Amino acid sequence: MVQYANAGLDASFAALSDATRRGVLEQLGRAEASITDLAEKFNMTLTGMKKHVGVLERAGLVITEKVGRVRTCKIGPRRLEDEMAWLERYRQLWDARFDELDKVVEELKRKEQLDGRKKRE
């Protein structure tokens, strides 16, 4: 069994695997927000939102800053280049496989048309 060891990719994909965390990133892409504001927007407890933000922060996708009693969140500096490169390799692989499948389907259609003509003759 091949093991792929890249903690950065693992952390990013784990963080992005949750719909709430993806929503938080979308929200922070529009404007910075406090954890309290995010918790209210996503209708969850402050503790739950802190956990989600922590996962995003460990993945480098979010930065938090505490000013007084308020912890403000904003999008982190990571641009997800490694993740995009990883996905692109698989996109190319699947594109090639689908291209080959298209060729097989076209060949089967051509044979089917030929067989249909022979039966009518």
The DSSP symbol for 70 reads E
Angle between helix axes 19-30 and 7-16 (nearest 10 degrees) is 90
**7-75 belongs to CATH 1.10.10.10:** yes
Give per-residue pLDDT as tens, 68-96: 999 999 999 888 888 898 899 989 999 99
Using the structure block, give the residue that is written with the tokens 């956990």. Answer: 51
Q: What is the residue extent of each domain of the chain?
A: 7-75, 79-121
Q: Whole-model pTM?
A: 0.73
